[in-house]
């Protein structure tokens, strides 16, 4: 390695990378660069502009040693033309992995996903939502953790210590998809340790026949903030929380049955449920397509007092997988509030590959809301279509 450093001035970049890879057994560089543009159908309620463009860079460095160990580093940065709060960076992963026998140890900054349903992920509580990235809650901030996994014949146990809390991201004053009053960056905590409170998460999972079962427990700072008005500032309040979760997914012929439920003891106590199915037509009309029909019901025992959507809603959608060389897929769905017929939203997701390194993606959201006391009444003018060109290396 010393020879590499001393003679770096006389070596090409590719030679250095090759030599370093030989020293370290395996070093891989990959990632993506995205050009994105959102076009809103109308100006915002506070006069925000209709056009919003972004550049996203997300490289990934993977290093593997010869002693059952590896390290993954995934930084992320977005530059946004409209909202300075959406111009932000994060370390999605900086994770060391070591495995032996039936055990795995991960330490650093990582991402963990729990959940099986399409319209919401109630049991997914380890990572904080990066709310300025997308509306479906699937983009997450990196979470500092020590994560031990035991893989046994009787099931898999995941145990995590989470020593630092990440606050949710929110759109700024010039941004779209935000409340009338922008959410302040001055957060309030129930715990005197604030973001340094140590959290814990556990999950048992097992496959029983054609059914996947997951039972989870979380104790620590609630990832979903409550919102409190202090003078003219709308501040997020992060309470302590205990949550028990259950997720089940089963394949019965062409049917995929799904269930997620939680009981959460926090600033309030509530039960949440998302359940439904996806039925797939394989090769209809003598095509190579797969067409999935999705239906899910969302329930929250807090009713209209819930600070999240989906307290008594139905989601219906359809998924097209064209099974072609470009991996073209389209998903369209509508979530209807059963308490207010005028409150619903629709989403569109479409993607396809252009070359081995280049893909396109189109996302769209439509919001219909004429109920002033509804949680998402502020978004009634934020319908948009988003197109992105993604380069993978």
Where residue 354 sits, what CATH number does that domain have? 2.40.160.10
Rounded mean pLDDT, 252-257: 97
pLDDT at 12 over 80: no
What integer pLDDT is reported at residue 9 of this predicted model?
39
| CA dihedral sign of residues 166, 167, 168, 174 | negative
Domain span at residue 80 reads: 2-392
Buried b (16+ CB within 10 A) or exposed e, 107-129: bbbbebebbbbbbbbbbbbbbbb
Confidence of residue 213 (pLDDT cuts 50, 70, 90): very high
What integer pLDDT is reported at residue 178 of this predicted model?
95
CB 332 within 8 A of CB 347: yes
The percent of residues in the chain predicted with pLDDT above 70, rounded, is: 94
CB 246 within 8 A of CB 114: no
pLDDT at 337 over 60: yes
**What's the helix, strand, coil split of the chain in %, to 5?**
10, 55, 35
* Residue 179: both structure tokens together: 């409340």
Look up tokens 């025992």; give the residue: 301
Q: For 173-198, what is each residue's pLDDT tens digit?
A: 999 999 999 999 999 999 999 999 99
What integer pLDDT is reported at residue 3 of this predicted model?
37
Neighbour-count burial of 144, counting CB atoms closer than 10 A to its CB (0-12 exposed, 13-18 middle, 19+ buried): middle
Q: CA-based Rg of the chain, rounded to a whole angstrom?
A: 23
What integer pLDDT is reported at residue 25 of this predicted model?
64
Q: In terms of DSSP bridges, do strands 312-321 and 290-300 run parallel, antiparallel, or are they unpaired?
A: antiparallel
CB 48 within 8 A of CB 38: no
In this structure, the number of other CB atoms found within 10 A of the CB of residue 51 comes to 11
Going by C-alpha positions, the residue among 336, 346, 340, 337 that lies closest to residue 371 is: 340
CB 287 within 8 A of CB 316: no
Q: Calculate the CA dihedral of residues 79, 81, 82, 87 and round it to 10 degrees.
A: 10
As a whole number, the mean pLDDT across the chain is 93
In this structure, the number of other CB atoms found within 10 A of the CB of residue 145 comes to 22
Going by C-alpha positions, the residue among 60, 95, 57 that lies closest to residue 74 is: 60
Distance CA 63, CA 22 (A): 11
Q: For 60-76, what is each residue's pLDDT tens digit?
A: 999 998 789 999 999 99
Q: For 89-102, what is each residue's pLDDT tens digit?
A: 999 999 999 999 99
C-alpha distances (whole Å) from 25 to each of 62, 105, 287, 393 are 11, 20, 46, 21
Q: How many domains does one find in the chain? A: 1
What integer pLDDT is reported at residue 10 of this predicted model?
39
Rounded mean pLDDT, 294-309: 91
CB 201 within 8 A of CB 125: yes
Rounded mean pLDDT, 291-316: 93
Q: For 28-61, what is each residue's pLDDT tens digit?
A: 999 999 999 999 999 999 999 999 999 999 999 9
Q: For 220-247, what is each residue's pLDDT tens digit?
A: 999 999 999 999 999 999 999 999 999 9
C-alpha distances (whole Å) from 58 to each of 17, 64, 364, 383 are 20, 20, 23, 27
The DSSP symbol for 377 reads: G
């Amino acid at each position: 390695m010393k020879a590499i450093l001393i003679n770096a001035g006389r070596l090409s970049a590719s030679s250095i990378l090759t030599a370093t890879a030989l020293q370290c057994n395996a070093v891989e560089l990959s990632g993506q660069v995205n050009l994105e543009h959102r076009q809103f159908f109308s100006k915002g309620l506070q006069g925000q502009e209709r056009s919003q463009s972004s550049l996203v860079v997300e490289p990934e460095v993977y290093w593997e040693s010869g002693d059952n160990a590896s390290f993954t580093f995934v930084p992320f940065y977005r530059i946004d033309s409209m909202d300075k709060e959406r111009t932000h960076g994060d370390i999605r992963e900086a994770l060391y992995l070591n495995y032996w026998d039936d055990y795995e140890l991960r330490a650093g900054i990582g991402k963990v996903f729990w959940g099986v349903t399409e319209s919401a992920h109630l049991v997914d509580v380890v990572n904080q939502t990066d709310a300025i990235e997308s509306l479906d809650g699937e983009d997450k901030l990196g979470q500092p953790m020590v994560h031990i996994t035991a893989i046994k014949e009787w099931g898999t146990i995941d145990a995590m210590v989470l020593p630092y809390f990440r606050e949710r991201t929110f759109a700024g004053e010039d941004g779209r998809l935000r409340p009338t009053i922008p959410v302040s960056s001055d957060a309030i905590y129930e715990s005197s340790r604030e973001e340094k409170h140590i959290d814990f998460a556990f999950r048992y999972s097992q496959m029983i026949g054609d059914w996947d079962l997951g039972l989870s427990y979380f104790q620590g700072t609630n990832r979903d903030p409550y919102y409190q008005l202090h003078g003219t500032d709308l501040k997020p309040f992060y309470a302590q929380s205990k949550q028990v979760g259950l997720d089940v997914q089963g394949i019965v012929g062409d049917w995929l049955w799904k269930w997620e439920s939680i009981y959460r003891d926090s600033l309030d106590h509530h039960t949440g449920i998302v359940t439904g199915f996806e039925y797939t037509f394989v090769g209809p009309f003598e095509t190579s397509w797969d067409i999935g029909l999705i239906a899910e019901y969302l329930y929250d025992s807090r009713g209209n007092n819930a600070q999240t959507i989906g307290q008594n809603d139905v989601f219906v959608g359809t998924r097209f997988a064209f099974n072609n060389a470009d991996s073209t897929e389209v998903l369209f769905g509508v979530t209807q509030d059963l308490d207010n017929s005028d409150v619903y939203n629709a989403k569109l997701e479409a993607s396809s590959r252009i070359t081995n390194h280049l893909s396109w993606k189109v996302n769209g959201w439509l919001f219909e809301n004429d109920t002033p006391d509804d949680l998402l009444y502020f978004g009634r003018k934020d319908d948009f279509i988003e197109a992105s060109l993604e380069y993978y290396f």
